[in-house]
Chain A
């Protein structure tokens, strides 16, 4: 069965605030952009898809099976790059990514090979063995993206991966995301008119708790 992420009447509430209201949408392999104003619920939608949170109502299905029952199956093929991560400053980029690879159940040798290839692709190769404490904002952003792409995931959730990046890095990241979207479902929030936007199979607007084609 083709991997499809299916949201059926999904809602999310924080206290009295309804952030998502009965969202129904199916994501298929390819790049889907999520746009909309700040605070509209884009990141919340992404967190729900990435199993970082549970919906207040409705169902999320992965390859036809409901979460949370299928959560572990989904997590094995999931790559998630949130906007902010408490990065372990004392570790090197390589140590950090290999640690996450271990948590994903990847073999060290294979994970290391993938890490080096991805580090080259995002322009972090020269800093692979440097401590994260010396990384700039853009380097941190690329490192978080890199760990999300490790293990060739089938569902990739990226929360504004191109923010804080310079033009060169943005192009590298766009190319990488486009390539990943050839075989995986890539959900990406963005405010910007990225180069990657032209490659999107769908652009959805999140606003007022609803998700609609932009």
Chain B
């Protein structure tokens, strides 16, 4: 068996034996029901000119394809990065004489196959839903499949390609990979919106997710459509708008652009294999930037004393647990960031400055710590301690809360002295800390990885950043 075939077959075997794949294949068709606005629906994830689009076979396929290619794409990336194949025996693979390009292609093919299987399950659900929601003579399974796969197929394969690319380099194997994907995902949607009026191959090539042309084709340049739920006009649910998405898909240059994106996605593993950099077994620890940050370090262990008495239980065990979680969460690098953010709160509006900054730093610190502490081996160890893993998770959330409250100190002090509303600021900071800490440890425990909470919290952070300007000023 070749390296490519072996990498593909072992990855597929691992996927097939994991609970996550079957859960995904189950959720996809069930979720499809909630993504489609049926005849009696009063709201819709996709709306145009404030109206729900008329449901046809073409729109059933295109609608599902658009939602997968836009809103659900981060879920695909999270799944690939945090599933069972994230752990590879690189220690022995990297000294094998096999081509890294072949290994990259084998794993990319398996990742793509899994995501395309999800598309197949969604397509089947779309056909069933069409038979339930439309007159039988209007149901065309081929059109549903065509519209869904043309839009979402290249998009999900591109996600598999990006996963392969990010696994190839040291920096992008970690948090930077999630950040880059988040930027790519957001950029791929925002950039397209700017090119709404343009048509043809070049305009479609801007749209890697492929959602624009099928919808915008039926609309004039000034007309708007919303993906992700928008306000409807008064009769927007009953007086529906007809979108000829099939005409948009078959319009000049669109299909060629989808084929081109598929081609680009297929070339990425080649590049990933060529630029592959081996893992590094370990790095020397650097000294902290500020000397007294060492206070947060556990320090050197005391000299062993064979006559020492058994350790006694701490009088304030809960406090010890909380202090330990704070120490692990903040770390050495976090102290300086925390001080800078807390000081900056005095000078800039909290909700658009120190607040989002505090959350962003916390997202990286909390997800990294959650990913580490929820590993199976460590959990087995913590189960033998005085405090249960659940107690430790609560301490983790409390530490996150302390983080955001400390980071808001400057803004709260300024608000208190300048006649602002310090209580509202404390509530906002506390809310951000609780949500960030809870999401990090919750998703970390569920996936045993930092990837899922990190990407979800980055999206939440972006929403908070945009919401910040509309929040009432606290100080």
Interface residues of A (CB under 8 A from B): 14-17, 47, 50-53, 72, 75-76, 78, 80-82, 84-91, 95-96, 98-100, 102-105, 108, 131, 144, 147-148
List A contacts of B2 (CB < 8 A): 102
Query: In the complex, what's the smallest C-beta–C-beta distance from B167 to chain A, in angstroms?
Result: 13
Residue in B5, B84, B97, B103 whose beta carbon sits within 8 Å of that of A90 in the complex: B84
Residues A102 and B98 in contact in the complex (CB < 8 Å), given A47-B281, A88-B87, A89-B84: yes
List A contacts of B85 (CB < 8 A): 88
B90 is an interface residue with CB less than 8 A from chain A: yes
Q: Which B399-424 residues have C-beta < 8 A from chain A?
A: none
List the A residue with the shortest CB-CB distance to B17. A90
Instruction: Find out whether the CB atom of B95 lies under 8 angstroms from the CB atom of A80.
Output: yes
List B contacts of A86 (CB < 8 A): 87-91
B174 is an interface residue with CB less than 8 A from chain A: no
List B contacts of A98 (CB < 8 A): 1, 6
Residue in A14, A75, A84, A131 whose beta carbon sits within 8 Å of that of B96 in the complex: A75
Q: What is the bound-complex CA distance between A103 and B4, given in angstroms?
A: 9
Instruction: Find out whether the CB atom of A14 lies under 8 angstroms from the CB atom of B284.
Output: yes
Known: A53-B281, A75-B95. 11 other contacts (CB 8 A): A15-B286, A50-B95, A52-B95, A52-B278, A84-B91, A89-B87, A90-B17, A95-B10, A99-B6, A100-B92, A108-B1
B interface residue count range (under 10 / 10 to 19 / 20 to 34 / 35 or more): 20 to 34
Query: In the complex, what's the smallest C-beta–C-beta distance from A51 to chain B, in angstroms?
Result: 5
Instruction: Find out whether the CB atom of B10 lies under 8 angstroms from the CB atom of A99.
Output: yes
B18 is an interface residue with CB less than 8 A from chain A: yes
B303 is an interface residue with CB less than 8 A from chain A: no
Query: In the complex, what's the smallest C-beta–C-beta distance from A89 to chain B, in angstroms?
Result: 7
Instruction: Find out whether the CB atom of A103 lies under 8 angstroms from the CB atom of B91.
Output: no
List A contacts of B1 (CB < 8 A): 98, 102, 108
Query: In the complex, what's the smallest C-beta–C-beta distance from A174 to chain B, in angstroms?
Result: 22
B231 is an interface residue with CB less than 8 A from chain A: no
List B contacts of A80 (CB < 8 A): 92, 95
B282 is an interface residue with CB less than 8 A from chain A: yes
Query: In the complex, what's the smallest C-beta–C-beta distance from B377 to chain A, in angstroms?
Result: 11
Q: What is the bound-complex CA distance between A13 and B13, given in angstroms?
A: 40
List A contacts of B281 (CB < 8 A): 47, 52-53
How would residues 94 to 120 of chain B score, 1 for a CB under 8 Å from any chain A CB and 0 otherwise? 111110000100000000000000000
Instruction: Find out whether the CB atom of B90 lies under 8 angstroms from the CB atom of A91.
Output: no
B3 is an interface residue with CB less than 8 A from chain A: yes
B309 is an interface residue with CB less than 8 A from chain A: no
Residues A14 and B283 in contact in the complex (CB < 8 Å), given A90-B84, A102-B6: yes
Q: Which of A78, A81, A100, A108 has the most CB of B within 10 A?
A: A100
Residues A15 and B284 in contact in the complex (CB < 8 Å), given A88-B10, A103-B96: yes
List the B residue with the shortest CB-CB distance to A80. B95
Interface residues of B (CB under 8 A from A): 1-3, 5-7, 10, 13-14, 17-18, 84-85, 87-98, 103, 278, 281-284, 286
Interface SS of chain A: helix, strand, loop or mixed? Answer: mixed
Q: What is the bound-complex CA distance between A89 and B87, given in angstroms?
A: 9
Query: In the complex, what's the smallest C-beta–C-beta distance from B174 to chain A, in angstroms?
Result: 15
Q: Which of A87, A99, A104 has the most CB of B within 10 A?
A: A99
Instruction: List 4 A-B pairs, minimum CB-CB distance, nearest first.
Output: A102-B6, A103-B96, A15-B284, A103-B98
Residues A90 and B95 in contact in the complex (CB < 8 Å), given A14-B283, A16-B284: no
Instruction: Find out whether the CB atom of A104 lies under 8 angstroms from the CB atom of B97.
Output: yes
List A contacts of B18 (CB < 8 A): 90
Q: What is the bound-complex CA distance between A53 and B97, given in angstroms?
A: 15
Q: What is the bound-complex CA distance between A95 and B96, given in angstroms?
A: 16
List B contacts of A148 (CB < 8 A): 92
List A contacts of B92 (CB < 8 A): 80-82, 85, 100, 144, 147-148
List the A residue with the shortest CB-CB distance to B284. A15
List the B residue with the shortest CB-CB distance to A17. B284
Query: In the complex, what's the smallest C-beta–C-beta distance from A94 to chain B, in angstroms?
Result: 11
Q: What is the bound-complex CA distance between A100 and B97, given in angstroms?
A: 10
Instruction: Find out whether the CB atom of B95 lies under 8 angstroms from the CB atom of A100.
Output: no
Q: What is the bound-complex CA distance between A164 and B257, given in angstroms?
A: 57
Instruction: Find out whether the CB atom of A104 lies under 8 angstroms from the CB atom of B282.
Output: no
Instruction: Find out whether the CB atom of A91 lies under 8 angstroms from the CB atom of B13.
Output: yes
Q: What is the bound-complex CA distance between A99 and B106, given in angstroms?
A: 12
Instruction: Find out whether the CB atom of A76 lies under 8 angstroms from the CB atom of B97.
Output: yes
List the B residue with the shortest CB-CB distance to A47. B281
Q: What is the bound-complex CA distance between A82 and B282, given in angstroms?
A: 14
List A contacts of B87 (CB < 8 A): 86, 88-89
List A contacts of B13 (CB < 8 A): 90-91, 95
Q: What is the bound-complex CA distance between A204 and B14, given in angstroms?
A: 41
Query: In the complex, what's the smallest C-beta–C-beta distance from B388 to chain A, in angstroms?
Result: 24
List A contacts of B14 (CB < 8 A): 88, 90-91
Instruction: Find out whether the CB atom of A105 lies under 8 angstroms from the CB atom of B98.
Output: yes
Query: In the complex, what's the smallest C-beta–C-beta distance from A145 to chain B, in angstroms?
Result: 11
Instruction: Find out whether the CB atom of A100 lies under 8 angstroms from the CB atom of B278.
Output: no
| Sampled A-B contacts (19; CB under 8 Å) | A15-B283, A15-B284, A52-B94, A53-B281, A72-B97, A75-B95, A75-B96, A76-B97, A78-B95, A85-B92, A90-B17, A96-B10, A98-B6, A99-B6, A102-B6, A103-B98, A108-B1, A144-B92, A147-B92
List B contacts of A144 (CB < 8 A): 92
Q: What is the bound-complex CA distance between A101 and B85, given in angstroms?
A: 19
List A contacts of B84 (CB < 8 A): 88-90
List B contacts of A53 (CB < 8 A): 278, 281
Q: What is the bound-complex CA distance between A47 and B278, given in angstroms?
A: 12
Query: In the complex, what's the smallest C-beta–C-beta distance from B287 to chain A, in angstroms?
Result: 10
Q: What is the bound-complex CA distance between A51 and B10, given in angstroms?
A: 25
Query: In the complex, what's the smallest C-beta–C-beta distance from B271 to chain A, in angstroms?
Result: 21
Q: What is the bound-complex CA distance between A73 and B84, given in angstroms?
A: 32
List B contacts of A75 (CB < 8 A): 95-97
Q: Which of A14, A16, A72 has the most CB of B within 10 A?
A: A14
Q: What is the bound-complex CA distance between A17 and B87, given in angstroms?
A: 29
Residue in B89, B91, B103 whose beta carbon sits within 8 Å of that of A88 in the complex: B89
Q: What is the bound-complex CA distance between A92 and B93, given in angstroms?
A: 17
Q: What is the bound-complex CA distance between A50 and B85, given in angstroms?
A: 25
Q: What is the bound-complex CA distance between A108 and B9, given in angstroms?
A: 14
List A contacts of B97 (CB < 8 A): 72, 75-76, 103-105
